[in-house]
Amino acid sequence: MRVLAAMSGGVDSAVAAARAVAAGHDVTGVHLALSAKPGTLRTGSRGCCTIEDAHDARRAADILGIPFYVWDFAERFTEEVVETFVGEYAAGRTPNPCVTCNEKIKFEALLDKAMALGFDAVCTGHYARLSVVDGVPQLRRSADADKDQSYVLASLTPEQLRHAMFPLGGDRKPDVRVEAAERGLAVAAKPDSHDICFIPDGDTRKFLESRLGERPGDLVDAESGAVLGKHTGVHGFTIGQRKGLGIDAPAADGRPRYVLALEPVSGTVKVGPSRDLAVQRIEADRPIWPSGRPLAGPTECVVQVRAHGGIAPAVAEAVDGGVSLQLREPLRGVAPGQVAVLYGPDADAGDLVLGSAKIAATA
């Protein structure tokens, strides 16, 4: 096949590209330039889209002996990922920009361009597995549970999965590093990227204030209604947050307070005890079914609400174009705007992605 290898500059995408070459595919490497000012993105171990990453990707492509290009997706990244991120926080929701980036950039913008240029598939270094059942692709968790990235890929459609390759889905990260070293790839020991690439110093609140300005409001005790303090904007908070609330006086019981609810219209941030964070029901909208098979009646599943953690057994049901989830065990810190990913308890230990949907409300 003609394969376009998305090369971020890290060890995973470099080894994925190497495996595509070793499998006999006609491989071309591409690095995505996602910022008009790449120097403002994170660098070193905290980055994934910087100038140094582009150089690392090019060096890996040279070692593999494949053509290499840099594609400028900065404008679309800003519109689809950064502005969506800011807008969601302004509306009192908690988005996951990596989910949005995979959906809108790597497997929409990139894949569309690849298909238009005659490529058969896009290869990435994500840790997830693909299988085919009755001609339909099935997205599954990776063999390495600690590195599993099926959560951030669960918004992909069956058509997108048909043209996706995840060569590392059956591997563990230490083994991938060993293979990279054996192949002579200089990125073998490069640290993993983490956090949000377009927030250089990692201060999300400061970044959002630079975009949204100050929007003062009250910090309110959810039980008594008492005003406990002031804040500069609901965009500085997320459900379940404990630190940085700006409350000087301790609670009556002496225990910490947590953010329980955000009301962007009134500017109110409600806080209370940890017990009030427990959620038994989730209502989600805009469902996507990677296998092409929507739920047919109440379905036992496992739901995951964060990329790393927030997992509970549940009964899911398609309702009015959305998904209703009754949790069999309560979850804490579930926020509107997060993605709920449903995994099926099938013969493969429940690693099959059934679908995903955006959390709209909890109870």
Please list the active-site residues. 101, 197
CB 123 within 8 A of CB 106: no
CB 303 within 8 A of CB 327: yes
Of 247, 248, 274, 249, nearest to 260 by C-alpha is 274
Which uninterrupted H or E stretch holds 62? helix 51-64
Q: How many Cβ atoms from other residues are within 10 Å of residue 353's Cβ?
A: 27
The values of phi and psi at residue 2, to 5°, are: -85, 115
CA pair distance 245, 145, nearest whole angstrom? 33
**Residues β-bridged to residue 148:** none
CA pair distance 150, 156, nearest whole angstrom? 10
Q: How is residue 119 written in tokens?
A: 């490529």
CA pair distance 281, 140, nearest whole angstrom? 25
Q: How many Cβ atoms from other residues are within 10 Å of residue 16's Cβ?
A: 26
Of 137, 171, 152, nearest to 12 by C-alpha is 171
Q: Given 3-state DSSP classes, what are the helix, strand and coil percentages for the chain, each rounded to the nearest 5?
A: 30, 30, 40
Which uninterrupted H or E stretch holds 90? helix 83-90
CA pair distance 241, 76, nearest whole angstrom? 31
Residue 107 is classified by DSSP as I
